[in-house]
Amino acid sequence: MKKRLLLAAMLLCLTGCARYEEVPLPSTAAETAEESVREEAAETEPPEETEVSVQPAQTDTRVPKKVKGIYLSAYIAGTPELMDNILAEIEKSQVNAVVIDVKNDDGRITFPIDTPVAGEIGACKSYISDVDGLIKKLKEQNIYVIARVVAFRDPFLAEAKPEWSLKKADGTLYRDNQGLAWVNPYKKEVWDYLIEVGKAAADAGFDEVQFDYIRFSTEKGMRQVVFDEEDTKGRSKTDIITEFITYAYEPLKEAGLFVSADVFGAIIGSEQDANSVGQIYYEMAKHLDYICPMIYPSHYADGNFGIEHPDTKPYDTVLAALMGSQADLASSSDAGKEEKLAVVRPWLQDFTASYLQNYIKYGPEQVKAQIRAVYDAGYEEWIFWDAACTYDWKGLEREN
């Protein structure tokens, strides 16, 4: 219990910062429907003035990619000289994707968008002044572009729309240990706003929207938060997070986006942690294209997976976490029922956790060790996190 609580506290400090399956295109659906109409016409001849129309079958035009990615802040992405340096390094590496802040940890949308709520509250801040030029440059280098959208930790929206926010019994806003307000995941108005932002990312040319902080706050102050039955309607935290994903998925898919979500590594195999944050691994995996567990070795408490100091054993820790992922998804699946689950695409660590008592310096060897663990666990995709975006490119170099 104490280890899980320590893990949750550490995650809050640093977190930031899944289905790679070809979707069958129903190309013959319209032909089948037309054939059926012709057969009916032969048997029961309709009046001459009756016209039978057949709607064309919808096809999924999204093109999946096996992602090997890195996170980039909006500041880096929006600064041409810095971005050119990153692109030069990517050209020499195996990286083929970037995750860029579109709605950041402060709740600011990082380039101008024209949507009702964003316009009303003035959420846009032009960290990226030329998003069209940025996307064009990335696409020219055949880079898959993921929009990071911070969901329910949104201090900007919470302050602007307190009626959509978490509140205490006295009516004041709930604030976390950093003094930041959170919006209420039960509010459908918040869901619609997140979809607005996702669609704007699609319009800008992003390939995928990735929700981060798609959860409830876990700090002890949450005990003072009061939820209105009119909002909850008897639904639990885990119910509502899964319901949001289900609600958001189709409109974002129709906009041409893949949909993914970041989740705590601690929820894998832990009902207690899952209920605390509102994330049930298997249930979320049923409604996403990609699920991205944050399994940074530094985020696991001493003794997790039987490893004395997980940060000092990056290969062992990542392998154990992903074997847990496999076991969780396999044990939760309904016997005999084939389900398409999200592809697992883990977040890995490319930073040194010097705040720990027992840590090691992370460099190329630790980066390579984590990638090897992903493959040894049977997975094929990964993304590295470094808040400063100072990656160990030698560790990301192309394999021979």
**Bridge partner list, 250:** none
Residue 285 has pLDDT above 90, yes or no: yes
**Confidence label for 334 from pLDDT (cuts 50, 70 and 90):** low
The arithmetic mean of pLDDT across residues 276-291, rounded, is: 96
Residue 327 has pLDDT above 90, yes or no: yes
**Confidence label for 337 from pLDDT (cuts 50, 70 and 90):** low
Is 85 among the domain residues? Answer: yes
The three-class DSSP label of residue 1 is coil
Is 136 among the domain residues? Answer: yes
At 358 the pLDDT is 97
Q: Report the 3 state secondary structure along 159-201.
A: HHCHHHECEECCCCECECCCCCECECCCCHHHHHHHHHHHHHH
Is 199 among the domain residues? Answer: yes
Is 59 among the domain residues? Answer: no
At 148 the pLDDT is 98
Is 163 among the domain residues? Answer: no
Long-range pairs for 265-268: beta carbons < 8 A, 24 or more residues apart: 265/293, 265/294, 265/295, 265/296, 265/299, 265/300, 265/321, 265/346, 266/4, 266/7, 266/8, 266/11, 266/299, 267/293, 268/293, 268/321, 268/324, 268/325, 268/328
Residue keyed to tokens 């008592």: 357
Q: Return phi, psi of residue 385, to 5°.
A: -115, 130
At 260 the pLDDT is 98
Please state, in angstroms and rounded to a whole number, the distance separating the CA atoms of residues 127 and 167. 30
> Could you tell me the CATH number of the domain that includes residue 7?
3.20.20.80
At 300 the pLDDT is 97
Is 210 among the domain residues? Answer: yes
Q: Which two tokens stand for residue 46?
A: 């309709």
Sign (positive or negative) of CA dihedral 351, 354, 357, 360 = positive
Structurally, the chain folds into a number of domains equal to 1
Is 282 among the domain residues? Answer: yes
Is 60 among the domain residues? Answer: no
Spatial contact of 149 and 99, defined as CB atoms under 8 Å apart: no
Domain of 360 in residue numbering reads as: 2-20+68-117+126-152+187-385
* pTM listed for this prediction: 0.85
